[in-house]
Structure 1
Amino acid sequence: MSEKTIEGYGKGFLVLILPISVAIIFFVNTWRIWIVLVALLIGLRLFQSYRWQQWCTKVNPTFHQLIESNQGRITPIDLAIKGNFSGTKAKRYLDTKAGEFGARIVKVEDGNQVYHFITAKTLSSLLDSSEPEAEEFSAPTLKSSTQILAELEPKKEVSHAESLVNETISEQINAEPEHLHTEDKKPLEKQLLFGSLIQSELAKRLGVYSSTVFKRRNDPQFSEWSRNRDPDGIAWTYSKETKEFFPVDGEA
């Protein structure tokens, strides 16, 4: 690096360090003055805030009167005229109240702002105005009821037809199978090769479903019931030990 380059860097550094040094020296010699100025600014802001709160307290009765008389609607010019102060103060005051009470601010065509404050009185009037009269809805109510009844009548017929179909299906399910009655029965001697019948064999002999025999096997009247259905008039009994059915009137 050449000597001219080093000399140029040194001069640039001096250009920066000199103002910084002067600022530091000035702040060290005047720091008490800066502290006093900051304290004065803070005190001034607190004093202005206090005076604003006191002024707002005096304006509150006027504001409440306008809100009640105008049903919650108020503009800065209304408040300024009523309170006899500037529009700037009126707008600042209304902005503060809008943030406090959550008012709705609407801009009109001329550029002014309308502040809407919701009170119990204004809310009650809005609800009363929104309630429909009974005479206006009496005729449509009757008409709609008639239409509903007319629409329900076909549905009832369909439901009745469906119930008939369901009853027919239920009867077919619960009815005993005809093909079991017409089926050629084997001689009892051939069926009783082992001296008993299993559930499916007895069901076929009696002409019923196997599930029917299963439901009735522990019934005290099972023997009489099986006698009435047996083609040879034989009564049957169920053995819980062997899970088989034995003839009561004698062996084959």
Structure 2
Amino acid sequence: MSEKTIESPGKSFLVLILPISFLIVFLVNTWKVLLVILGLLMVFNLWQQSRWEKWCNQVNPLFYELIEENHGKIRPMDLAIKGNFSGQVAKRYLDSKAKEFGASVLDSENEEDQSYYFINASILGDILDSSELVEKLPAQPVTKIARSFLAPPPPISLEGEAQSESLSVPTHEEVRKPLEEQLVFGSLIQSELAKRLNVYSSTVYKRRNDPDFAQWCRSRDPDGIAWSYSRKSKEFFPMEE
């Protein structure tokens, strides 16, 4: 019994020693080859990364153009169609951009319908302008309004009437002065033009790309001035007649 108990640990030890010894011999004889293979893998990985970065630099203009056109929303299918490459590559590119810029990703069952939302300063300004609220006049009781209509008008003397008429007729300089004060920088932003045209800021935002935008502005502008929209600066400029 004692001999069997001594032999069993020895056999188990040999079972462990043999694979380890073979592994050591293999590493000693092939370590140079393994180093070469490891170096080749590292070089190949760096080459792929450099190639991907060069490709991304070529796609970046298309990406920024789609962001401007779609107001920050983009899908892999849109980028794939625009750049004429596969949807998987487009999704990989958008995933990297989403991590870089912290974009919001709206998941869906179909990966091609996945939407990415990128917000820049101009898009954020448009959102804030479109959500701008116009102040409303406070509501008055109906009884007060009815009494004001029923009450007789106060008598006006001829001198006061003539004086009021002379004051109510504005000169050309008085009409032009507010516009000159507004056009300090030569242009107006969306909210300023909306106040000038007496419309909601969201209305200007919706109609700014219409073909008849200039004529529409002329019909609502107090000075009859036509305005044009610049996509580059996101501002509105008066059109010279």
TM-score by length of 2: 0.55
Q: Secondary structure at the match of 1:139?
A: coil
Structure 1 residue 122 corresponds to structure 2 residue 93: no
Residue in structure 1 matched with residue 7 of structure 2 by the alignment: 7
- Structure 2 gaps, min length 5: 142-241
Residue in structure 1 matched with residue 35 of structure 2 by the alignment: 35
Residue in structure 2 matched with residue 190 of structure 1 by the alignment: none
Q: Which amino acid aligns with 2:86?
A: S
Residue in structure 2 matched with residue 65 of structure 1 by the alignment: 65
Describe how 1:24-103 pairs up with structure 2 within 5 A. 24-103=24-103
> Residues 4, 46 of structure 1: CA spacing in aligned structure 2 closer, same or farther, 3 A cutoff?
same
How far is the alpha carbon of 1:99 from its aligned partner? 1.0
Q: Which amino acid aligns with 1:53?
A: E
Residue in structure 2 matched with residue 139 of structure 1 by the alignment: 138
> Residues 108, 20 of structure 1: CA spacing in aligned structure 2 closer, same or farther, 3 A cutoff?
closer
Q: Which amino acid aligns with 1:96?
A: S
User: What whole-Å deviation, never above 9, does each CA across 1:63-122 have from its counterpart, x for those lacking one?
Assistant: 011001000100001000100001111011011111111111112465531111111221
Question: Share of identical aligned residues, percent?
Answer: 56
Q: Secondary structure at the match of 1:105?
A: strand
User: What whole-Å deviation, never above 9, does each CA across 1:110-167 have from its counterpart, x for those lacking one?
Assistant: 5531111111221111101111122xx3225x78xxxxxxxxxxxxxxxxxxxxxxxx
Larger radius of gyration: 1
How far is the alpha carbon of 1:34 from its aligned partner? 0.6
Structure 1 distance, partners of 2:69, 2:102, is 19
Structure 2 distance, partners of 1:94, 1:130, is 28
Describe how 1:169-208 pairs up with structure 2 within 5 A. none
Structure 1 distance, partners of 2:79, 2:109, is 20
> Residues 110, 138 of structure 1: CA spacing in aligned structure 2 closer, same or farther, 3 A cutoff?
farther
Residue in structure 2 matched with residue 20 of structure 1 by the alignment: 20
> Residues 52, 2 of structure 1: CA spacing in aligned structure 2 closer, same or farther, 3 A cutoff?
same
Higher relative contact order (CA 8 A, sep 6+): 2
How far is the alpha carbon of 1:8 from its aligned partner? 1.2
Q: Which amino acid aligns with 2:73?
A: R
User: What whole-Å deviation, never above 9, does each CA across 1:26-81 have from its counterpart, x for those lacking one?
Assistant: 11000000100110111011000000000001101110110010001000010001
> Residues 109, 6 of structure 1: CA spacing in aligned structure 2 closer, same or farther, 3 A cutoff?
closer
> Residues 108, 26 of structure 1: CA spacing in aligned structure 2 closer, same or farther, 3 A cutoff?
closer
User: What whole-Å deviation, never above 9, does each CA across 1:9-39 have from its counterpart, x for those lacking one?
Assistant: 1111111101110110011000000100110
- Structure 1 gaps, min length 5: 144-252
TM-score by length of 1: 0.53
Q: Which amino acid aligns with 2:85?
A: F
Structure 2 distance, partners of 1:70, 1:120, is 15
Structure 2 distance, partners of 1:31, 1:21, is 15
Residue in structure 2 matched with residue 188 of structure 1 by the alignment: none
Structure 2 distance, partners of 1:76, 1:95, is 10
Structure 2 distance, partners of 1:39, 1:110, is 39
Structure 2 distance, partners of 1:110, 1:35, is 43
Q: Which amino acid aligns with 2:62?
A: T
